[in-house]
Structure 1
Amino acid sequence: MIERIDTKKRMSRILKHNGVAYLCGQVGEGATVAEQTRDCLSRVDSLLEKAGSDRKHILQAIVWLADMSDFAEMNEVWDAWVPDGFAPARACGEAKLARDVLKVEIIVTAAVNQSDLPEAHK
């Protein structure tokens, strides 16, 4: 069964299937990459909660930076956000983002808490 949450014409903010939650790419507000990363990760937290998951259940994260020279600044925020011992598989690359003011976009895939699954999928 596929469950779509906050679905619009173009995309769903969350898609759940077989115990995995796929989040749409998240961006944040702020003047610096650190500010945008903090805001972005706060949005990820909210979506994970809505999906029945949390930071400790992230399987994979894909980070897009508008400029790889911001890598260390983004990582400082990221490292403080990820719980010790729960680092997901992660990739980071440089990309032209949807708007010129955006400096970072993060895409997350996470395991859903098993209690949220239908009995047939546990």
Structure 2
Amino acid sequence: MSQITRHHTGARMSQIVEHGDTIYLAGQVGNPGEDVNAQTQTCLAKIDALLAEVGADKTRLLQVTIWLADMSDFAAMNSVWDAWVAAGHTPARACGEAKLATPDYLVEFLVTAAKA
């Protein structure tokens, strides 16, 4: 049976869950009040930091789900994503529109990655 390890665990969720060779990150959001470009940059920086904590990086992404509060921000979010994602290591990805936890959040990323 594979071990489950949780990091930054609170009453509601853990920021990182490791199960076997798979890493699951909690949804990552940006700073309220920033535009979608800045929020996307913040999300991706958080993803980089969390993956680094467990010995992985963005070349190990398996799947990413992106939620936008408004699909009109799709091109702006993608401009930041395209500059960040590792060429040749793009994950399976989905992007949709959703009402996020607060109207101040414009984008949220949900990540699954493999251990290095």
Q: TM-score range by the shorter chain?
A: over 0.9
Alignment of 1:1-122 (within 5 A): 1-29=3-31, 31-113=34-116
Q: Secondary structure, in 3 states, of the residue corresponding to 2:99?
A: coil
**TM-score computed with the length of structure 1 as normaliser:** 0.90
Q: Secondary structure, in 3 states, of the residue corresponding to 2:38?
A: helix
Higher helix share: 1
Residue ranges of structure 2 left out of the alignment (5+ in a row): none
Instruction: Give, in whole Å, the separation in 1 of the partners of 2:75 and 2:103.
Output: 20
Name the amino acid aligned to 2:68: L
Name the amino acid aligned to 1:55: K
Offset of 1:51 from its aligned partner?
1.8
Residue ranges of structure 1 left out of the alignment (5+ in a row): 114-122
Instruction: Give, in whole Å, the separation in 2 of the partners of 1:80 and 1:107.
Output: 18
Counting aligned pairs with the same residue, the percent is 55
Structure possessing the higher radius of gyration over alpha carbons:
1
Instruction: Give, in whole Å, the separation in 1 of the partners of 2:103 and 2:71.
Output: 15
Instruction: Give, in whole Å, the separation in 2 of the partners of 1:60 and 1:76.
Output: 19
Name the amino acid aligned to 1:64: W
* Consecutive aligned runs of 4 or more in structure 1 exceeding 2 Å deviation: none
